[in-house]
Amino acid sequence: MIDYEGFLQLVQKRRSIRRFKPDPLPDDYVNKIVEAARFAPSGANSQPWEIVVVRDKATKDRIVEIVNEANASSYKLGQTRPKEERHPADDRPPGGRPGFADAPVFLILFGDPRLEATYPLSAYTMNRASITPSSLANVFLYMHLAAASLGLGSQWVTATSQPLPQALIKQLLGIPRDYTLYDTMVAGFPDQSPRPRLVRPAQEFTHAGRYDTSKYRSDDQVKKFIKAIHDGRATIAD
């Protein structure tokens, strides 16, 4: 069994990659990612996931077009935020070919809400809206960690789960109407080395027994933290 230090190195190594080499991804790598996905925890062991592996260039290019169309609307929406609150992407007009477009494989994750019938009645009536997305989030994380363990890069393409892209991609791939598109993971050999990212110290968010009010962050501290993330700083000054 992997030891803790090995596991910690793996989670530290996993980063979002946005540029990929053109090399094709062998089937064995994809099979290993999917094999790891099988064992992700899910509500009542419902395993509500379906994964569509897309390699065909024409299909991938159409998905990229759909994402670009959605990003154009998101850009306009981002312009409505106060400038000091905008994500850096909100100030970059969409256009061109995004880096993820060159990834050799798209793994599109869908959920089957009919599996919610596996839940105990209390969960089915009260928490069903959160249990299935949590189950899909678990399998998505397993997939990303599996990719990292193989020396691959991966990116979480969130735009595909928006209503319009989801509808168009489901139509493109022949997905049943009652399935929901959770999100898309693209994978391949990385063509970049991301710089260190800002990670909070454990003592900042860990509380012993009850919430430590001395650790409550003021609105100004939260804004400062968000700005540090947007600026891409690995540390934040006091």
What pLDDT, on a 0 to 100 scale, did the predictor assign at position 120? 82
Q: Return the residue matching tokens 């997939």.
A: 143
| 3-state secondary structure (DSSP) of residue 70 | helix
What pLDDT, on a 0 to 100 scale, did the predictor assign at position 219? 96
What pLDDT, on a 0 to 100 scale, did the predictor assign at position 129? 66
Tokens in use for 45? 């062991």
Domains delineated in the chain: 4-194 (3.40.109.10), 196-238 (no CATH)
Distances (CA, A) of 48 to 115, 130, 180, 181, 184: 6, 13, 10, 12, 16
Burial readout 191-210 (b: 16 or more C-beta within 10 A, e: otherwise)? eeeeeeeeeeeeeeeeeeee
Give CA–CA dist 95/89, Å, rounded. Answer: 12
Estimate the share of the chain in helix, then strand, then coil, as percent rounded to the nearest 5.
55, 15, 35
Q: Is the distance from CB of 107 to CB of 186 less than 8 angstroms?
A: yes
Tokens in use for 1? 């069994």
| Partners of 187 in the β-ladder | 105, 154
| 3-state secondary structure (DSSP) of residue 186 | strand
For the chain, the straight-line distance linking the first and the last C-alpha, in angstroms and rounded, comes to 40
Give CA–CA dist 211/181, Å, rounded. Answer: 36
DSSP code per residue over 101-114: GG-SEEEEEEE-GG
Task: Give average pLDDT by consecutive 10-residue segment, the chain, 238 residues.
Answer: 92 94 96 98 96 98 94 73 74 78 97 90 66 95 98 96 96 97 97 92 97 97 92 75
Cβ burial, residue 90 (10 Å; 0-12/13-18/19+): middle
What pLDDT, on a 0 to 100 scale, did the predictor assign at position 46? 95
What pLDDT, on a 0 to 100 scale, did the predictor assign at position 119? 85
